[in-house]
Structure 1
Amino acid sequence: ECSYEEVGHLCVSDPGPGDGGGGGGGAPARPAPPTRIPESQFQSFDIPAPTIYAWPKDWAVVGKPAAFWTDTEVSYIDMTLLTYAVTVKVTPERFHWDFGDDTGKTTSAKGKKPPPGSSPQIGHEYQKSGTVSVSMTATFSGEFSVDGGPWLPIDGFAHVASNEIGIDVYRYHRYLVDEDCYANPRGPDCT
């Protein structure tokens, strides 16, 4: 039977006359603990930006897979809300990759650097040469705990952009030449 009001963006109970909110000369009542964090508030939190990596580090070859990954992990943010110690747990759920050539991919895996000779978990084959900028946006879910209590879900998701990586994409050709490039540096495919 309590009424609710929005304080900032957090939903809290409005103390009634018998709850220390009225007169009587006592100390002001501590507000009720937060019971919900809306998506708009979650999106304003200082969530660490994901870092992305590529292999080869800053180049790729047309028609050959380049590997991408991120090392984003679960993170925790400590804050005080309405006089309560609140810990927010931020978990990466999905990763939307922009490969810089008008293509992208959404994955639930964060990928990893592939061992030599194996296929990348998150790979992309470029179809033309040039310079591209690769980026990723991570989608995070959240939970919060008030004063060390149980974890409560946060409404919606937060989306955080990564760094950008510049990739030079090369095209290679094979030629059979009948001359030694050391003997004739101006021979076919020697320059």
Structure 2
Amino acid sequence: MTDDELQALLDAACYGAGQSCDLRATNLLNPLIPIDPAQPGTPGAPAATVTIADVARFLPATATLRAEPDGWAVIGVPANFWVESTPITVSGELLGNTAQVRFTPRAYRFDYGDGSTRATSTAGGSWASLGQEELTETRTSHVYRSRADRRAAVTVVYSAEYRFADGPWITVAGAVSGTTPPQRVLVVVERTALTTPA
């Protein structure tokens, strides 16, 4: 799937009529990708089918957006963003039974705070971890074009699985998302000055 196809999926596929589908909203849980409630359950699962709406409430806000330079950027120079997110397993009650729900990050939608967004299957990484020079372009970087005080955030899309007791993990159709708190990015103009050696 290309980044453009992923962007189109994130923009167009929302679960539940009348629910908010604004993936840029802060601390928002969005069940994505419609499913058919009449779809038969997985063999070995309880009689009632577990839907993505059933497990969405289990997703904690755990992803963290990182940026370098930290807290600022220079007009015309790439600012690098990445998200720290890992698979999450949460215990709780599901359909009246004790269960575990596991969320695995699958896609990311970066919102750079200036109207630009990027959907990707990679969480990105620091320049050092990617083996790149500082201030170079990455798959999740962004170049700001004007001075401003911006707020960047990222929506992480997770697939979900559940299990009861020590039973097998069962995949839930669809996906759920969570958005990181916004991070301030002060976009500035770089100025150089010539000085005379003392």
- Structure 1 length normalisation: TM-score? 0.70
Q: 1:142 aligns with which of 147, 152, 160?
A: 160
The answer as to whether partners of 2:113 and 2:152 remain within 8 angstroms in 1 is yes
Conservation of the 8 A alpha-carbon contact between 2:58 and 2:101? no
Deviation readout 1:27-58 (Å, 9 max, x if unpaired): xxxxx836532122222224333110100000
Question: Which residue, out of 112, 117, 123, partners 2:133?
Answer: 117
**Which of 177, 184, 190 in structure 2 is aligned with 1:172?**
190
User: Unaligned 5+ residue runs, structure 2?
Assistant: 1-36
Q: Secondary structure at the match of 1:91?
A: strand
Out of 112-121 and 132-141, give the one that drifted further. Answer: 112-121
Identity %: 24
Select the residue among 162, 170, 175 that pairs with 1:157: 175
Per the TM alignment, residue 142 of structure 1 is displaced from its structure 2 partner at its CA by 0.1
TM-score normalized with structure 2 length = 0.68
Whether the 8 Å contact between 2:65 and 2:154 is mirrored in structure 1 is yes
> How far apart, CA to CA, are the structure 2 residues paired with 1:35 and 1:90?
21
The answer to whether the 8 A contact 1:42-1:157 is kept is: no
Matches within 5 A, 1:180-191: 180=196
C-alpha change, 1:161 and 1:64, in structure 2 (3 Å) is same
* Higher RCO (C-alpha 8 Å, min separation 6): 2
**Is the Cα–Cα contact under 8 Å of residues 95 and 136 in structure 1 kept in the other structure?**
yes
What is the rounded CA distance, in whole Å, between the counterparts of 1:83 and 1:126 in structure 2? 50
**Could you say what secondary structure the match of 1:41 adopts?**
helix
Q: Residue 139 of structure 1 aligns to a residue in which SS? A: strand
Which amino acid counterpart does residue 130 of structure 1 have in structure 2?
A
Instruction: Specify the alignment match of 1:57 in structure 2.
Output: 70
Quick one: which amino acid aligns to residue 169 of structure 1? V
Q: Are residue 101 (structure 1) and residue 119 (structure 2) matched?
A: no
Q: Contact 1:114/1:121 (CA < 8 Å) preserved in 2?
A: no
CA RMSD in angstroms comes to: 2.8
Q: Confirm or deny that 1:128 pairs with 2:146.
A: yes
Note the alpha carbon deviations across 1:134-164, whole angstroms, 9 max, x for none: 0111111101111111111112111111021
Which of 42, 46, 65 aligns to 1:33? It is 46
Going by fraction, where is helix more abundant, 1 or 2?
2
Q: Which runs of 5+ in 1 are unaligned?
A: 1-8, 14-31, 183-191
